[in-house]
Amino acid sequence: MNQENEQRNIDGMNELERALKRVGDVLGALFLLIVLSPVFLYIYIRQISSASRPVIYSQERIGKGGKPFRIYKFRTMVVDAEKDGVPQLEQDDDPRLTEFGKVLRKRHLDELPQIWNVLRGDMSFVGYRPERQYFIDKIMEYNPDYRLLYQTVPGVTSMATIENGYTDTLEKMLKRLDMDLDYLRHRSLGLDMKIICKTLFNI
């Protein structure tokens, strides 16, 4: 039983670091919402002018403790992109993307509304990317350790996101999981800053 508990508790951060991380998330989210407000407004106007409505797209994802939450993005795909009801993985050159959606996706600007998720506490700036239950079930058929990620909130960016790109195959999802588990074991405030800087450089 002790060995099982040890396997489950793999978070590399202590309680103080987790508290400081949350403070940093709140302050950073407030700052970015103010500074980037002109960018939000510009994207909103561009979406409206190109008849790409609704502007904001929300989708249920699974977060801390295995609980669902709504993740927010600027819509980059046509309406009813999954009209057959079967979840589909996103791809780099997805034919469902709108013209302006391709621009947003290329610079990851579609992720900006997730700053609101960070402020709410659904997400952190750094952490594993939250997934839909449909794909989590498929991942756990191969690696049930996915549930270990539920120890913490998911994130907007991660080393796996930077290096693994869009997870358009199950193989990439499993590779991302290995990287996310490694991050969870070794995460620190210093590592988070490194990931944030690397994300900004890539954007």
pLDDT in tens, the chain (203 residues): 344 444 578 999 999 999 999 999 999 999 999 999 999 999 999 988 876 678 898 999 999 999 999 999 998 887 665 666 566 666 656 667 888 888 888 888 999 999 999 999 999 999 999 999 999 999 999 999 999 999 999 999 999 988 887 777 889 999 999 999 999 999 999 999 999 999 988 87
**64, two tokens:** 């801390």
Q: Cα 178 vs. chain centroid, distance in angstroms?
A: 16
pTM: 0.87
Q: Which amino acid is at 188?
A: S
- Enumerate helices (H) and strands (E) in the chain, giving the number of each: 9, 4
Helix axes 99-106, 37-49, angle to 10 degrees: 160
Q: Are strands 56-62 and 68-74 parallel, antiparallel or unpaired?
A: antiparallel
Helix/strand/coil for 155 = strand
Q: What is the C-alpha separation between 190 and 9, in angstroms, rounded? A: 21
Domain limits of the chain?
Answer: 11-202
pLDDT of residue 190: 96
